[in-house]
Amino acid sequence: MLVRQDIEGFVAQDWTIFGGFFRRDGFCGLDAEGSLNPKDWWLRFPTVDSYRTAWLADAKRAAETAYAEDRRSALYRATTMRDVTVQGDTAIARKTFDDGIALHGGGVQKLNWQSVFFCARSEQSWMITGFMGFMAFDSVSEQSYA
């Protein structure tokens, strides 16, 4: 859900592909704005609806951008699910974006951040209860921890 449904829904600009995996009660989404320092983080998404609005706006912007390559393929190439930890009915998952999408006419739109998702198991499936998003990510440093 955190990779395939997110990317497929984003490319299609269709929240219903991804949105069903969010638990509405108690949801909380923070935006790190590219920082690893908690003083820079803010509660940008206090509800699933606020996240949906921003996600759809980003998907629309991306769909209107003139890319020189297939956007779906580039998003899959850039995305890695790095760490998943499950304890009982609770899980955390870290997803990184580390690449770029070639722009028509030259240049690259950089994709370079990481997000940590908080999930809970429901009777039906795993649900996203919140996330800490858009944190700085350095793939060079990441390799030194491997």
The pLDDT value recorded for residue 140 is 52
Percent of the chain with pLDDT over 90: 90
Domain count, the chain: 1
What are the pLDDT digits (tens) for 45-67?
999 999 999 999 999 999 999 99
Q: What is the pLDDT of residue 123?
A: 85
pLDDT at 144 over 50: no
**DSSP labels for 96-131?**
EEEEEEEBTTS-EEEEEEEEEEEEEE-SSSEEEEEE
Are 113 and 135 in contact by the 8 Å Cβ rule? The answer is yes
Res 10 pLDDT > 90: yes
DSSP H or E segment with residue 4: helix 4-12
Stretch 82-95: mean pLDDT:
96
Q: Give per-residue pLDDT as tens, 99-130.
A: 999 999 999 999 999 999 999 998 879 999 99
Domain coverage including residue 112 = 4-15+24-145
Cβ atoms 5, 17 nearer than 8 A: yes
Radius of gyration of the chain, Cα coordinates, nearest whole angstrom: 15
Is the pLDDT at 69 greater than 70, yes or no? yes
What CATH number should be reported for the domain holding residue 91?
Answer: 3.10.450.50
Burial class (CB in 10 A: 0-12, 13-18, 19+), 103: middle
CB 38 within 8 A of CB 132: no
Indicate the pLDDT class of residue 143, thresholds 50, 70 and 90: low
Residue 126 CA: distances (Å) to CA of 6, 32, 92, 114, 134:
14, 24, 11, 20, 22
Q: What is the average pLDDT across 68-88?
A: 96
pTM reported for the whole predicted model: 0.90
Q: Which long-range contacts (CB under 8 A, 24 or more apart) does 109-114 make?
A: 109/65, 109/67, 111/74, 111/75, 111/78, 112/137, 113/32, 113/34, 113/137, 114/82
